[in-house]
Structure 1
Amino acid sequence: MTLLVLGGTGEARQIAERLQGQDAVISLAGATRNPDEQPLPTRIGGFGGEAGFLDYLQKAGITAVLDATHPYAQRITTRTAQLCSAQRVPYVQFLRAPWTPEPRDRWVEISSETEAVDYIPHGSVVFLGTGRQTLERFANLEGREVICRQIDPPVDPFPFPGGQYLIGRPPFSVEDEIALFQDLAVDFLVVKNAGGTSSRTKVTAAGLLGLPVLMIARPPQGDWPVVNTITGALAWVHAL
């Protein structure tokens, strides 16, 4: 068996660490420049659409796919699951459990980025923990100060007026996030319900500060095999 792990998350790296010495390769989309070194042979970059992905499966001799991409990478996950099903290649998605609010949290769930404007008054300082890939969907937040944190320095200017980039590479502690939000005088935090422990620190910090959080709901789940733990992912691999 030759396993393809679709990575980009902390859990993907943990799974890869447990698979060292086995016939497996991890693929990164290339969204982050200079990514951390991976414990498995690594390929970086997109596959070039459906045809490119199928061509890679054949040439690399891939016989199973473990999808440990971000919970909001809906397009990649849907395409991969459908193509693997059509090719009869075993497939499973690792999907970490979503966050749930604690008593102190002030969450409002929204279905898309464009809805944030309905909850954030003019003059507010808005911290986006959503990454740069969906940044343009917040262009209707005119009259607010929008701060978008990303890992790499930008190559293009901010896509709409009133915004700025903040460069930072995780992990960030709760104490780090509290100090940052206070220093920036943040009024609202906007995040995706990514789940996981390490990325929750910003949400925990907002709760401790009493800041309102706009939580973008997860995309609909498709009809394909899913595991929710690293142990479950490894058990699926070993069962093959």
Structure 2
Amino acid sequence: MDWRWIGRFRKLSANSTTWWLTWAGPFTEEEQREWDHLFGLPFDEGIREQLGRLMKTSRERELNAALSEQRQPRLYYPAIPIERVRSEINDLLQLAEDIRTLEPDVIVRRLYLGAIEEDVDYLRLIEATYERKTKCFWQYNQRVFPLPSSEDMHDALTHIKALLRRGFTQSSTREIRLQLQEIISSRFHLASDVEQVGTATGSTPLTAPSCASQTQAEPERTENRCADSQALF
């Protein structure tokens, strides 16, 4: 039923993009010359291994320097083939337009447009990474990896609540419990009245924020943060 589009779609969605987001530290002049030479050669597994070793060496050097100097590491993504990324974005958008215009089956049309939108969002995320546009990266990261729901948060906190109940009953863990309570309250902004965790009332003081309301508000906020990005669909 989708014979007209499957070939083009598979060709555009078959790329392994995880490799493109492998990060490196700053290259030395010698490493940069070697990278430029290898990156211009026909890509195969051997070339990939050599490029990977260069990134690993620079990454480990930068991490050690950042730890020693008590600073954030400097991240670079030299494996991103930006012209190819932009070309594939354009090809996917053209495919979406062709399907929207020419595909008569509403179900086939909807399924393809949804899948293409996801692929374009991920490629836009890679493009924003290359351009070092933090706001755009955040916008597309939220689209590709949506915020968890309140139910997801409550499920994740179930194990923590059980540990807190155990810690509340043992004086030897009081200091650790108080530290954890502070982290939950200040860093994750979750209500954590630990003193009530061990009571017989069965209360569940760890309360996840309403992620659903955050998700609904996100498009308006991210649109302002990334004004130079156009709506894709």
TM-score range, shorter chain: under 0.3
TM-score, structure 1 normalization: 0.25
Structure number with the bigger relative contact order (C-alpha 8 A, sep ≥ 6) is: 1
Between Structure 1 and Structure 2, the one with more helix by share is 2
